Each structure stands twice: as C-alpha cells, then as structure tokens.
C-alpha cells in the first residue's frame, strides 16, 4: 500500500486516480485504499487520530523468538493438503500461490511431495556414495561436500503432477497449481563431485537414490549432470528443510521435480537408465493407442494469474492490478500475455525484474474492471519461443490419457459480484 503513495508524482496521480474510482475517500485519500480501512475506522480506538494500544507499552523482548515466526495475524498463510492421503507417507502439500508476493517461496511454504514420509537424518551420519562407472568410487561426508566451491542459484521447482487434468474441487491458485515453488539453492555443482571421482567415458546416466523409506530412485542423463545439476544443502540461505531433503538433495534445474532426489545417499554411474518405478509405471506420459513417452524431463513454459484468482473477490469495479507467475524449464520467460475477454484478445503484461532462467517471473497488468462478468487468462512464452498451450492443444497431441505435465492456460471466471472461480472446475 505504501508503494502506491511513493514520492513519484506521476505514479501518485495515476494511482490516486485508480483508487478514487473504487474506494470511499476518507481523510484525504490515504485511508481510502480499501473497504477494510473504512470499516475499521468506525471501531476507532486504534485508528487515527487515536494512539493505538500497541504504542502505549514496550513490545516483546528482542530474542523472544530465537528463530522468527510470521505474525499471528498471518496464521492462515499455510501449505494446503488438498487430497487427504490414504497413507500419511505418500502425500503432497501445496504452496498458497495466491497469498504470496514476489518470486521467492518462504521455506515453510515450499510445496512438499513425499513418497515415504520425511526421514529425520543426522547430518553427521549421512554419507554420499559415488560408484559405478567411475575411476575412483568415493564416500563423502557433509563436511567434505561443503569444502568444495559452492554455487547459489534462484530456481523454480515443479512437480510434473502439478495442475491435474481434472480440475474438479480445485478452487484457489494454490489448489490448481501449488506444486510449484521457487528458492535460492546453494550447494556444490554435481560436475565438481563427479570430476573428483573421474567419470568413465562409458557412463551415460547417473542414478540417484534417496535415503527415505521410498528409496526414491531416478536416472539423469550424464550431459545434464555435467551441466547445471547441483547437490544442494541450503535453501534461501539456511540449511535445506527436512521436508526438502535435509541434509542433501539433488537439484535438477528445469526438469520435473521428481528427479531432484531428496535426502540423496548414492549416485551410480551407468551405461543405461535404471528404469525405476518412478520412470516407468509413474511419471510417464501416456499417449493414445497404448503408447507412452519414455521420458518427459523438461517442464514446459507455464503461467498462472494469482490475483484475482479462485476464491478471491473484487470489491467493486474500477482499477485492479492483475498479477501472477510464469516460468519455464527451458530458460527465461520472455513474454506473458493477459486476456481480459476470455481469450479473444491478448495484451502484454509487464515482467518484473529480475527475470531469471528457470525461475518464477512475476508479471503485472493494470486493469479497469467494468463490473461485467468476464474470464481472465494468462499465457507465457519462453526464450526458446515456446508458447504455453491451451488444454485443447495438449489433448490434440497427447490424447486424454496423460496425468502428468499439464501446463495448459488457466482461466478464472469473475461474476457480476466480483467473485472469482476456477473456470475449469
């Protein structure tokens, strides 16, 4: 809100203009931003010109929370378990995309996908074993790994099971697409560790195994491993959370989240992929005629409007900023278009800096709602020229058997009361 009144004359006039159209002007405009402040003004005691209660005594002591917590007023900003799991150990929780700003997902809200629960691993007893087609098989401690030169990169990660083909019962942006999060990951480039062991020329694949009860196992092509894959131990500056793979995870930028093996304990170099459960009976795209794609590693360009989105309400016509997130596993987002007429016409949204490779990109689009029912959509393009498809375009190529890798355009329907609904639900 403060931002709307910063000392930029032009912006100030324009924004005041926007706000006047929608909100009641109280006491010169500053308090007029939303109906909420107007309603609260009637209660009075803590509002101008009174001194609020919390200024009348000292606040809590420094160090009350050695590890800080969000305000208690933010208690509803939490991860969401959408489909109550039959077994606790095979489950996912979703990032509340519609409640967050910017591009970084706070660690406590990073989405989770576990196939065998969250192991509690003592880092002093954790080891990474590298074996198979290497000159020198080696076992590393966490301290060994942290002595290598490190890298930090901000990247998105998305589960290929994100955005179910059946949108029934999915209300919010998080419900629809919350198996995606973005963090700054720090670790050692996998290439550095592999060079320490000496990769034999016959090695074409690396098989990573996790130290969870699922022993999650995936094969990664060696070229990718020698390119940008990381062995990550930190997430947004602190050690990776247990849910994200403490103390060590593989991070495979741009590939389906399933390949970023958490709690990684071994890396085997091989000539062939291992064809584990997660790359045969699961995480493969079924086509028509009994066929399936062997692998679908790269996460394609995608976007979602997070405001206004399902479950939210526009409090009257006038100015609203449409905003959302776009990303691609193939590089940078170069364009996001928004439609405010159900897809008949499209206009470019503004991309907010920084626009990073394989990273959430925030887009913004100023809009004046005339109060009539409308469907709004967004569509992303990445630096390879790939344009986010419609669901019809995906079905035309793959048929209706796929369950993974849906990256279709998401429509939100706004009714005459300003209530926003998932147009596909």
Ligand X SMILES: Nc1nc2c(c(=O)[nH]1)N[C@H]1C(S)=C(S)[C@@H](COP(=O)(O)O)O[C@H]1N2
- CB-facing half-sphere around the CA of 81: CA atoms within 13 A: 11
Helix (H, G, I), strand (E, B) or coil at 340: coil
Kindly give, in sequence order, each residue whose CB lies less than 8 Å from that of residue 75, ignoring residues fewer than 6 positions away.
none
Using CB under 5 A, count the residues that bind Mo ion.
4
Name which position in 79, 94, 114, 126 contacts ligand X (CB under 6 A). 114
Which positions from 142 to 171 touch Mo ion by CB under 5 A, shown as an x/- string? Answer: -----------------x------------
Q: Which stretch binds Mo ion (CB under 5 A): 30-38, 237-245, 249-257, 369-377?
A: 249-257
Q: Pick from Mo ion, ligand X, none: which does 302 bind, CB < 5 to 8 A by kind?
A: none
Please provide residue 309's backbone torsions phi and psi, each rounded to the nearest 5 degrees. Answer: -135, 175
Distances (CA, A) of 179 to 73, 85, 106, 230, 404: 25, 15, 14, 21, 12
Q: 157 to each of 178, 340, 371, 392, how far by Cα in Å?
A: 11, 28, 37, 25
Q: Does 113 bind Mo ion (CB under 5 A)?
A: yes
Residues 226 and 203: their CA atoms lie apart, in Å, by: 12
User: Which one of 171, 219, 260, 266 is in contact with ligand X (CB under 6 A)?
Assistant: 260
Closer to Mo ion at the Cβ: 129 or 215? 215
Q: Which of 155, 224, 262, 362 binds ligand X (CB under 6 A)?
A: 262
Closest CA to 257 of 223, 291, 210: 210
Give the CA distances from residue 47 to residues 5, 19, 52, 308, 357, in Å, rounded to whole numbers and listed in that order. Answer: 19, 21, 6, 29, 45
Residue window 215-234: x/- pattern of binding to ligand X, with contact defined by CB under 6 A:
-x------------------
Nearest to 263 by CA among 184, 224, 209: 209
- To the nearest whole angstrom, how small is the minimum distance from the Cβ of residue 107 to ligand X? 10
Q: What residue 263 binds from ligand X, Mo ion, none (CB within 5 to 8 A, per partner kind)?
A: ligand X
User: Binding to ligand X (CB under 6 A): which residues in 92-111?
Assistant: 110-111
Q: How far apart are CA 220 and CA 217, in angstroms?
A: 10
Site for ligand X in 132-191 (CB under 6 A): 159
Residues from 271 through 330 that contact Mo ion (CB under 5 A)? none
Q: Which residue in 258, 312, 323, 330 binds Mo ion (CB under 5 A)?
A: 258
> What is the binding site for ligand X (CB under 6 A)?
110-115, 159, 210, 212, 214, 216, 243-244, 257-258, 260-263
> What is the binding site for Mo ion (CB under 5 A)?
113, 159, 257-258
């Amino acid at each position: 809100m403060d931002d709307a009144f910063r000392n930029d004359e032009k912006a100030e006039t324009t924004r005041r203009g926007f706000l006047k159209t929608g909100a009641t002007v109280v006491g010169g405009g500053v308090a007029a931003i939303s109906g909420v402040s107007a309603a609260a003004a009637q209660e009075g005691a803590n509002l101008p010109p009174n001194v609020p209660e919390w200024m009348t005594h000292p606040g809590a002591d420094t160090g009350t929370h050695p590890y800080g917590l969000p305000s208690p007023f933010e208690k509803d900003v939490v991860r969401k378990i959408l489909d109550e799991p039959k077994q606790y150990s095979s489950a996912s929780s979703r990032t509340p995309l519609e409640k967050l700003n910017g591009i970084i997902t706070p660690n406590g809200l990073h989405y989770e996908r576990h196939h065998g629960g969250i192991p509690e691993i003592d880092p002093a007893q954790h080891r990474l074993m590298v074996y198979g087609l290497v000159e020198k098989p080696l076992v590393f401690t966490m301290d060994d790994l942290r002595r290598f030169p490190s890298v930090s990169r901000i990247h998105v990660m998305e589960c290929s099971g994100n955005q179910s083909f059946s949108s029934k019962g999915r209300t919010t942006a998080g419900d629809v697409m919350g198996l995606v999060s973005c963090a700054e990951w720090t670790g050692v480039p996998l290439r550095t560790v592999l060079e320490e062991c000496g990769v034999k020329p016959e090695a074409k694949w690396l098989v990573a195994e996790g130290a969870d009860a699922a022993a999650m196992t995936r094969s990664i092509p060696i070229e990718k491993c020698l390119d940008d894959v990381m062995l990550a131990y930190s997430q947004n500056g602190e050690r990776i959370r247990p849910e994200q793979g403490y103390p060590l995870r593989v991070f495979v930028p741009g590939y389906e989240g399933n390949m970023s093996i958490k709690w990684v304990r071994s890396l085997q170099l091989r000539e062939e992929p291992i064809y584990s459960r997660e790359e045969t009976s699961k995480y493969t795209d079924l086509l028509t005629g009994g066929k399936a794609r062997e692998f679908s590693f790269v996460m394609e360009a995608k976007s979602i409007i997070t405001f206004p989105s399902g479950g939210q309400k526009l409090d009257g016509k006038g100015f609203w900023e449409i905003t959302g997130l776009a990303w691609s596993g193939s590089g940078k987002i170069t364009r996001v278009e928004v439609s405010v007429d159900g897809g008949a016409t499209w206009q470019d949204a503004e991309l907010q800096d920084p626009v990073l490779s394989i990273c959430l990109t925030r887009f913004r689009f100023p809009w004046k709602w005339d109060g009539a029912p409308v469907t709004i959509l967004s569509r992303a393009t990445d630096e390879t020229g790939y344009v986010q498809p419609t669901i019809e375009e995906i079905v035309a190529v793959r048929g209706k058997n796929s369950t993974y890798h849906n990256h279709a355009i998401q429509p939100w329907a706004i009714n005459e009361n300003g209530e926003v609904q998932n147009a596909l639900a």
